[in-house]
């Protein structure tokens, strides 16, 4: 049930939202084209999580991020399939362009620090990525499931650290937006979709059995 709830945070009906796919794309890019997500560079780690936060903030204002994503759609007609592929590619490019032009380091950082001041989890919205095992096995130091106090130790940033992290954030954002390809992340997306559907089916079958068995 907990796994189903985490999936539901990013899924709409039986299809993931575009925001979810973009988060998956960032994870894929970081694992395969950037240095490892849980590498030795703490600045790299902070930039990645802040970029995830920035994507979420953009998604709050752009309805395209909340639309159902049909990248894994299957059509019998080859013409329909070609049209779908082109349409999904155009949407993905639009979202990446929005990230490139509208993601703000200070806005993301302020969002995280404000949540921490209220003793709230600033990353609750994207913890489904780790529950889904999409980002690999974390190292001990950079575990997203670290105690709350462990995350607190990363923030707030000093003025000097803020300049360093912001510079790296801008470089990372630019590289991600110029290098990420929809074709590269389709397999990870489809694997997550199948996992979600399997968990949802098991849950629904269990509810039906419970209802008729009582």
Q: Per-residue pLDDT averaged across 94-116, rounded?
A: 94
| pLDDT bucket at 6, cuts 50 / 70 / 90 | very low
What is the model's pLDDT at position 141? 37
For residue 96, count other CB atoms closer than 10 A to its CB: 18
Q: Give how far Cα 75 sits from Cα of 14, 85, 121, 135, 206, Å.
A: 16, 11, 41, 30, 31
What average pLDDT does the structure give for the chain?
75
Of 72, 78, 50, nearest in space to 192 by CA: 72
- Split at pLDDT 50, 70, 90, the class of 129 is confident
Write out pLDDT tens, residues 130-153: 666 554 444 333 455 555 556 667
Residue with token string 């106090």: 149
pLDDT in tens, 26-47: 988 888 876 544 444 678 888 8
Instruction: Flag whether the pTM goes above 0.85.
Output: no
Instruction: Answer for the pair 41, 164: CB distance below 8 angstroms, yes or no.
Output: no
């Amino acid at each position: 049930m907990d796994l189903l709830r985490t999936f539901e945070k990013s899924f709409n009906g039986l299809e993931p939202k575009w925001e979810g796919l973009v988060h998956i794309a960032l994870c894929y890019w970081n694992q395969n084209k950037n240095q490892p997500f849980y590498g030795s560079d703490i600045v790299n780690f902070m930039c990645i999580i802040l970029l995830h936060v920035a994507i979420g903030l953009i998604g709050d204002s752009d309805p395209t991020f909340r639309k159902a994503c049909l990248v894994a759609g299957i059509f019998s007609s080859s013409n329909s399939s070609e049209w779908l592929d082109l349409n999904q590619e155009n949407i993905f490019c639009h979202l990446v362009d929005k990230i490139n032009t509208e993601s703000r380091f200070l806005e993301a950082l302020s969002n995280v620090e404000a949540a921490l001041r209220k003793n709230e989890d600033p990353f609750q919205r994207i913890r489904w990525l780790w529950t889904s095992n999409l980002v690999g096995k974390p190292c001990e130091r950079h575990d997203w499931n670290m105690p709350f106090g462990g995350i607190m130790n990363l923030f707030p940033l000093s003025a000097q650290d803020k300049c360093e992290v912001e510079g790296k954030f801008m470089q990372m954002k630019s590289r991600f937006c110029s290098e990420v390809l929809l074709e590269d992340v389709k397999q990870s997306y489809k694997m997550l979709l199948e996992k979600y559907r399997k968990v949802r089916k098991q849950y629904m079958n269990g509810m039906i059995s419970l209802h008729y068995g009582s």
